[in-house]
A and B are shown apart, each in its own frame.
Chain A
Amino acid sequence: MNASALVSELRALVGERGVVVDPDALMTYNADGCVMDTHAPDVVVLPTTTEQIVAVVKLAAKHGIPLLARGAGTGLSGGATPVRGGIVLVTSRMEKVLEIDRRNNRARVQPGIINFELTAILKAQGYHFAADPSSQKACTVGGNIANNSGGPHCIKYGITGSHVLGVQMVLADGSIFWTNDGTPELPGYDLTGITVGSEGTFCVMTECWIKILPLPEATRVVMALFTDILPAAETVSQVIAGGFLPAALEVMDGGALKAVNDAYKMGIPPEADAALIIEVDGVEDGLDDLLAEIIAIAKEKGAIEVRPAKTPEEQVKVWAARKNAFGAMGRLAPTYHLVDTVVPRTKLPAIMRDVKRIAKETGLSIVNVFHAGDGNLHPIVLFDRTNADQSERAHRAVEEVMRLSLEYGGVISGEHGIGIEKQEFMSQLFTEADLAAMAAVHRALDPDDLFNPGKMFPRKFEANDLASERRRVAEAGAGLPALMAKHGDKLWV
């Protein structure tokens, strides 16, 4: 199909304003927050209804044009980068809350709603959506689900996946169905569960039932300052091992503290080189005692100052500082690479020590802002990408952090996903058989590789080829032709 025919068909489906073809405008969609690779789409569509999405998917499928669903493009692994061009379908005009059902702790939303806006709407009703990535002011719920995003409160409330009850999904054949509506465990495979975290590689989500939770009766937030990051990490390990169940345990190192100190006038003393944010919540009763115990651990580990944020306003300020710390990195260096990885929680102090060493060895600044309570670290390597030598050293630093993380029993991504950034690391964590099982899921759902192709699996594999080979071996091993000859359709009841 030639480009202009495609564009006019799309215009007929979603209207003039819903189609972007201007080359400059298309550049906006050539990557997400990960700029390892860029590739402009051929055309961008911004549908306003589920029916339009179905029609666009059918059109793309008919002509074999790759289709990538995009939320806000804040992803950090290249998930929303259209590496093979084609159509980028942006959900930003599908941003409504369709239903809030408090008694059943659920809400039905369109995928393009901004996490923060949803949070504000729910808050007015005394509720919250527990998934709150630091990017919540910009990112969409659809993106959160597709990436199974994390955030500061995972330690108590779990990742996004624990808060998704069902999704309405469109497959490449244009079929559309709901996986669930909040009824616990329907019979059959958990298609909601497999879709969460699938990074848009086999469907487009058009609506979602999410779990909403009543706001806790009481919340306490405290910031403990340390002269070094290690005691902060050790405090985290000890709090976890001590059987507390805090709502958040977040660490910022000196570099991050400096970046936010000015912006938020936090008056952080110069000798402070790390901060640990501790939040506990629940019923009012006993909360202060719990917090006191945690503070005692922090002090024992050498906290030089402990700052309680008593009022909701003070708490909002502490959280704003934490959540915007990463955005402030732009001021420290022209380019940064955030490495998202997780280690078993007792390994946190050790890997933080390694990160320090790596910074020294590569002569680059590495700043840390991370979800310490989950063992999820985010060393941010600062460099100048126009400088070849710095780029090479940054690359080495990233590889070394990943290597060590795996050595400590960690995994390759805690919350940002694989996309293109971590594709090649998949083979370090998984065998070909492991990957083939994932490829089998891909082939069952997206047999023609229409959605977001070229992602997640190492580049040397086309997911569906891997699955086909796997199936060929399985069929041969089971002597399938002979079985079919003998039993016919009776094999399947």
Chain B
Amino acid sequence: MSDALISSLSAALGAEHCVAGDGDLSFRGTRPDAVVSPGTTEETADVLRLAAAAGAVVVPWGGGTRQRMGGPLSPAGRPVLALRTTRLNRVLDYTPEDMTISVGAGATMAKFAAAIVPNGQMFPVDVALPGRSTVGGALATAADGPRRLGYGTFRDLFLGVTVVEAGGSIAKAGGMTVKNVSGYDMMKLHLGGLGSLGVIVSANFKLLPTPRAAATIACHFDALPGILAMLDALHASKLVPAACELISAEGGEGFGLCLLTDGLPQAVERHKRDVPKIATQTGARDSQILEGEEHAALWARINDLPQAADLAPDELVFRAACLPSEMVATVGNVLAVAKANGATVTFSARALNGVGYFRLRGEPATLGRAWKSLAETMPAASLVSLGAGSPEAAPSPWGRMPGGLDVMRRLKREFDPANVLNPGRFLV
């Protein structure tokens, strides 16, 4: 990396925020030539401008918990800058009674929550590892949480954004109101865009009131067919659980179907009464009501299951999506393929939404085979993370390709003509 670039970055950010050859960070093998930590939107723009002029590529870096997602970085011989958002971590605008907030992209999800919880408010997207995951990283990877069943995802709550684009242009969209159709909904492109169109520096969200009561009904099933029957019955009922998560039973045989009910105390009581009945009718071995700390601990564990930061060397994590009605079959398919390849599976699936996160462990070679066969057969699947010993040369991390790839390519080239942002990692 050229000394000139380092010295101009140091001049812009202060030497302590521009570290050459930092050994800590790596993206599946590639180490950045320098790690820069801008403290403001303008400094972030300086970094992108200087990077563009010097022909360097930029990898936005939040908490680093999902840096193994996507394809391998392919800088084509260009110097690599890791842009840490850690210092962009302030709450920028928050009037609690408006129930909207603007936060810096580098704030952790835990810090974000800490700002609003004292006001009886919540943000219902339960991202894994909230103490380390940042707002920007969660957005760029379109992280979701179990409560999407009741409250939706970032997609429904992401009101406004400020990004710095390749070349250093600062662009904002949306605003701080809960409804807004002023121009294109640019938030949608940056959400899940893996930082390929711009570096998210701050984001605005809609907040919700903390429910007055909450509880879990954990149902234990021996086999998948009973679960399918229970899901059908729940779907046909007028119950409105906030989450319905199908999980591999801990240590033992069988499966758990965990329902989270929240809202008015009477409504929670109603779910506590009705859900166990449905479970019994559909063949559950037992069901248990969890409240208070037990309830919280269970969901903290479920929320963290998709985590992609700390993996065993022989581990691979992927996300599979399908129509909700296909979720149980998808789980069955993953279990069968894993078994055929001698791999073990732990998983957590948003059973009424059609999204599951699966952790496979086994021999690298067989893991690679299992992933390939799953990626080719499932409606939608993507690798979230690979352990150090996992097959780096895994086939495409994206599974089956969606429609509109040409348009996506044109978008990427329009926004980032020199492929400066996260080259190679996104699917276009």
Which A residues lie at the B interface, using CB under 8 A? 103-105, 147-148, 150, 154-155, 158-159, 161-162, 171, 175, 177-194, 196-198, 214, 216-217, 237, 240-245, 282-287, 289-290, 342-346, 371, 374-376, 409-418, 422, 426, 429-431, 433-438, 440-445, 456, 467, 470-471, 473-475, 477-480, 482-483, 486-487, 490-493
17 CB-based A-B contacts, threshold 8 Å? A183-B321, A185-B142, A185-B192, A189-B188, A190-B191, A194-B188, A194-B189, A214-B238, A216-B240, A243-B210, A245-B208, A287-B264, A429-B182, A430-B182, A434-B172, A478-B53, A486-B55
Known A-B contacts A243-B210, A283-B240, A418-B183; the reply to A374 vs B189 at CB < 8 A is no
Contacting residue for A411 out of B182, B398, B401, CB 8 A: B182
Which residues of chain B from 223 to 281 have a CB within 8 Å of any chain A CB?
Answer: 232, 235, 238-240, 263-267, 269-271
Residues of A within 8 A of B266 (CB): 285-286, 289
Residues of B within 8 A of A477 (CB): 49, 52-53, 167-168
Q: Mark B385-409, 1 if CB is under 8 A from A, else 0.
A: 0000000000000110111111110
In chain A, what residue has the closest Cβ to B352?
A: A105
Q: Which of B16-24, B92-100, B339-347 contacts A (4 or more CB under 8 A)?
A: B92-100
Residues of A within 8 A of B53 (CB): 477-479
B186 at the interface (CB under 8 A from A): yes
Known: A178-B403, A480-B417. 18 other contacts (CB 8 A): A183-B323, A185-B144, A187-B401, A188-B408, A189-B193, A189-B428, A190-B188, A214-B238, A243-B120, A344-B177, A429-B182, A434-B171, A435-B183, A438-B183, A444-B407, A473-B167, A474-B418, A487-B76
Which of A197, A413, A435, A437 counts the most B-chain CB atoms under 10 A from its CB? A437
Q: Which of B2-10, B31-39, B285-293, B419-427 contacts A (4 or more CB under 8 A)?
A: B419-427
Name the prevailing secondary structure of the B interface residues.
Answer: loop
Kindly state the separation between the CA atoms of A344 and B52 in the bound complex, as whole angstroms. Answer: 38
Which of A105, A214, A283 counts the most B-chain CB atoms under 10 A from its CB? A283
Please provide the 8 A-B residue pairs with the shortest distance between their CB atoms, ordered closest to farther. Answer: A193-B188, A243-B209, A286-B266, A286-B264, A217-B238, A478-B418, A177-B403, A285-B266
Known A-B contacts A161-B185, A185-B144, A475-B418; the reply to A375 vs B55 at CB < 8 A is no
Kindly state the separation between the CA atoms of A181 and B322 in the bound complex, as whole angstroms. Answer: 10
Residues of A within 8 A of B323 (CB): 104, 181-183
Known A-B contacts A441-B186, A474-B166; the reply to A286 vs B172 at CB < 8 A is no
Judge whether B321 and A467 touch: CB under 8 Å.
Answer: no
Residues of A within 8 A of B420 (CB): 478
Tell me how far the C-beta of B92 lies from the nearest C-beta in chain A, rounded to whole angstroms. Answer: 13
Judge whether B189 and A193 touch: CB under 8 Å.
Answer: yes
In chain B, what residue has the closest Cβ to A376?
A: B179
Contacting residue for B185 out of A196, A431, A483, CB 8 A: A196
Kindly state the separation between the CA atoms of A443 and B415 in the bound complex, as whole angstroms. Answer: 10
Judge whether B354 and A345 touch: CB under 8 Å.
Answer: no
Judge whether A185 and B189 touch: CB under 8 Å.
Answer: no
B377 at the interface (CB under 8 A from A): no
Judge whether B399 and A187 touch: CB under 8 Å.
Answer: yes
Contacting residue for A493 out of B77, B173, B181, B424, CB 8 A: B424
Known A-B contacts A282-B240, A478-B52; the reply to A412 vs B414 at CB < 8 A is no
In chain A, what residue has the closest Cβ to B378?
A: A183
B169 at the interface (CB under 8 A from A): yes
Judge whether B418 and A418 touch: CB under 8 Å.
Answer: no
Judge whether B167 and A474 touch: CB under 8 Å.
Answer: yes
Residues of A within 8 A of B240 (CB): 216, 282-283
B78 at the interface (CB under 8 A from A): yes
In chain B, what residue has the closest Cβ to A173?
A: B406
Tell me how far the C-beta of B55 lies from the nearest C-beta in chain A, rounded to whole angstroms. Answer: 6
Which of B152, B169, B177, B324 counts the most A-chain CB atoms under 10 A from its CB? B177
Kindly state the separation between the CA atoms of A26 and B379 in the bound complex, as whole angstroms. Answer: 46
Judge whether A445 and B407 touch: CB under 8 Å.
Answer: yes
In chain A, what residue has the closest Cβ to B173?
A: A434
Residues of B within 8 A of A244 (CB): 209
Kindly state the separation between the CA atoms of A482 and B418 in the bound complex, as whole angstroms. Answer: 10
B155 at the interface (CB under 8 A from A): yes
Residues of A within 8 A of B185 (CB): 148, 161, 193-194, 196-197
Q: Mark B23-67, 1 if CB is under 8 A from A, else 0.
A: 000000000000000000000000001001101000000000000
Contacting residue for B404 out of A191, A283, A287, A436, CB 8 A: A191
Residues of B within 8 A of A104 (CB): 323-325, 354
Residues of A within 8 A of B96 (CB): 241
Kindly state the separation between the CA atoms of A61 and B247 in the bound complex, as whole angstroms. Answer: 52
Kindly state the separation between the CA atoms of A283 and B234 in the bound complex, as whole angstroms. Answer: 13
Tell me how far the C-beta of A439 lies from the nearest C-beta in chain B, rounded to whole angstroms. Answer: 9
Kindly state the separation between the CA atoms of A105 and B350 in the bound complex, as whole angstroms. Answer: 15
In chain A, what residue has the closest Cβ to B70?
A: A187
Kindly state the separation between the CA atoms of A287 and B265 in the bound complex, as whole angstroms. Answer: 10
B411 at the interface (CB under 8 A from A): yes
Tell me how far the C-beta of B120 lies from the nearest C-beta in chain A, rounded to whole angstroms. Answer: 5
Judge whether B179 and A198 touch: CB under 8 Å.
Answer: no
Contacting residue for B172 out of A186, A430, A443, CB 8 A: A430
B301 at the interface (CB under 8 A from A): no
B333 at the interface (CB under 8 A from A): no
Which of A191, A345, A410, A477 counts the most B-chain CB atoms under 10 A from its CB? A477
Kindly state the separation between the CA atoms of A362 and B221 in the bound complex, as whole angstroms. Answer: 70
Tell me how far the C-beta of A150 lies from the nearest C-beta in chain B, rounded to whole angstroms. Answer: 6
Judge whether B264 and A290 touch: CB under 8 Å.
Answer: yes
Known A-B contacts A214-B238, A342-B177; the reply to A283 vs B267 at CB < 8 A is yes
Known A-B contacts A161-B185, A374-B179, A434-B171; the reply to A188 vs B417 at CB < 8 A is no
Judge whether A414 and B180 touch: CB under 8 Å.
Answer: yes
Judge whether B238 and A411 touch: CB under 8 Å.
Answer: no
In chain A, what residue has the closest Cβ to B324?
A: A104
Residues of B within 8 A of A237 (CB): 97
Judge whether A190 and B208 touch: CB under 8 Å.
Answer: no
Judge whether A162 and B155 touch: CB under 8 Å.
Answer: yes
Q: Mark B185-208, 1 if CB is under 8 A from A, else 0.
A: 111110111000100000000001
Residues of A within 8 A of B424 (CB): 493
Tell me how far the C-beta of B53 lies from the nearest C-beta in chain A, rounded to whole angstroms. Answer: 6
Judge whether A283 and B270 touch: CB under 8 Å.
Answer: yes
In chain A, what residue has the closest Cβ to B193?
A: A189
Tell me how far the C-beta of B156 lies from the nearest C-beta in chain A, rounded to whole angstroms. Answer: 5
Residues of A within 8 A of B324 (CB): 103-105
In chain A, what residue has the closest Cβ to B165?
A: A437
Judge whether A147 and B355 touch: CB under 8 Å.
Answer: no
Known A-B contacts A344-B177, A444-B410; the reply to A285 vs B267 at CB < 8 A is yes
Known A-B contacts A286-B266, A342-B177, A480-B418; the reply to A162 vs B95 at CB < 8 A is no
Residues of B within 8 A of A175 (CB): 406
